[in-house]
A and B are shown apart, each in its own frame.
Chain A
Amino acid sequence: NAGVTQTPKFQVLKTGQSMTLQCAQDMNHNSMYWYRQDPGMGLRLIYYSASEGTTDKGEVPNGYNVSRLNKREFSLRLESAAPSQTSVYFCASSGLDRGQETQYFGPGTRLLVL
């Protein structure tokens, strides 16, 4: 049981390049999330998916797209990377833990946009 996994762990892009961050969970959770973490700002929600086939915007969706490929996988795409998207990206999934809806996080992807 790996929990939430993310690939890649680290990526360097040039401005204007595109890339997709991958996330998968093996806990049979319905809901999945993408956050970004920047110094002094905590974690901010980019997009989330309450169930397979649905996605919704969070606080900071501009410049990103997502795909909920199936129940396990939720990818985040940067179509044209900008230096402002340099950040650490975390994927999370949530499910019931003793009747309590709880989020579990992946190890993160560190992205540097030059």
Chain B
Amino acid sequence: AQSVTQPDIHITVSEGASLELRCNYSYGATPYLFWYVQSPGQGLQLLLKYFSGDTLVQGIKGFEAEFKRSQSSFNLRKPSVHWSDAAEYFCAVKRSNFGNEKLTFGTGTRLTIIP
């Protein structure tokens, strides 16, 4: 079965600084990878996804992520964070593009932004 690890429970960065959130997955074949963001009291919003092709994917709100097969990683990055980026971020993986294939989520990374 696939699994996802987000090693950082909580990260604090200064506004304007760069950000990298780590995600490692465990799955034998090429996975389908997602990053979601959850603002306080809200549902999950899709930031970006990787299915195939270019390993650097662009998402909404200025985020990008890079799929590195050799490291089994799909880290999320942003060059300059804004106070509104404070939220919880979830990495997720699934095995196929079928509709009944469930998502497996990591435990999340909470991002705090300081002035």
Q: Is the CB of B102 within 8 A of A101?
A: no
Chain A residues with CB under 8 Å of B105's CB are 42-44
**In the complex, A4→B100 CA distance in Å?**
17
**In the complex, A95→B98 CA distance in Å?**
9
**B43 at the A/B interface (Cβ < 8 Å)?**
yes
Known: A42-B106, A43-B105, A107-B43. A95 touches B99 (CB 8 A): yes
Q: How far is the CB of A90 from chain B (nearest CB, A)?
A: 6
In the complex, the chain B residue whose C-beta lies closest to that of A91 is: B43
Q: Is the CB of A33 within 8 A of B102?
A: yes
Known: A41-B107, A42-B106. A48 touches B43 (CB 8 A): no
Stretch from B44-52, B58-66, B68-76 contacting the other chain: B44-52
**B103 at the A/B interface (Cβ < 8 Å)?**
yes
Q: Is the CB of B43 within 8 A of A100?
A: no
Nearest 9 Cβ contacts at the A-B interface: A50-B100, A42-B105, A105-B44, A31-B99, A107-B43, A42-B107, A105-B43, A43-B105, A101-B97
